[in-house]
Copies of this chain bind each other. A is one copy, B any other.
């Protein structure tokens, strides 16, 4: 891809492609317990927020905000969680998750909670199309 960017296979392996925004590649985590998007800035070598230019950061936060609206709308979420952690996969990726009071991890964060519950194939495809329509 452009400028040497290539998606980390650990991110690719647990999610499916949704599409691309001006800065970020957008993926859906394959876990039916909550709507969970991954936004990966297409910038080779970016790990930390301060690795991006100020211009890229402004775009990133707009795309994260839009992603949060999308996951909110999908389930009428009570809260969205937005985070860039990267302790296990350093390639910068922003998690955007729709949360419901009483979901499996509530009120804690979702990382490390139980096991992923992969979508049924047809359900996942429908959801990807729905998200893509709102991007």
Contact = CB atoms under 8 A, between A and B. Distances in A.
Interface in A35-80: 47-50, 52, 54, 57-58, 60-62, 64-66, 68-69, 72, 79-80
Interface stretch (A5-13, A83-91, A118-126, A127-135): A83-91
B49 A82 contact: yes
Contacts of A86: 79, 81
Interface residues of A, number: 35
Copies per assembly: 2
Contact of A80 (B48, B82, B88): B48
A57 B49 contact: no
Contacts of A87: 79, 81, 99, 106-109
A69 B57 contact: no
Nearest to A95: B83
B80 A83 contact: no
Contacts of A114: none
Contacts of A109: 83, 85, 87, 109, 111-112
A50 B68 contact: yes
A65 B69 CA distance: 23
9 contacts: A48-B68, A49-B82, A52-B65, A54-B62, A57-B65, A83-B83, A83-B84, A87-B108, A87-B109
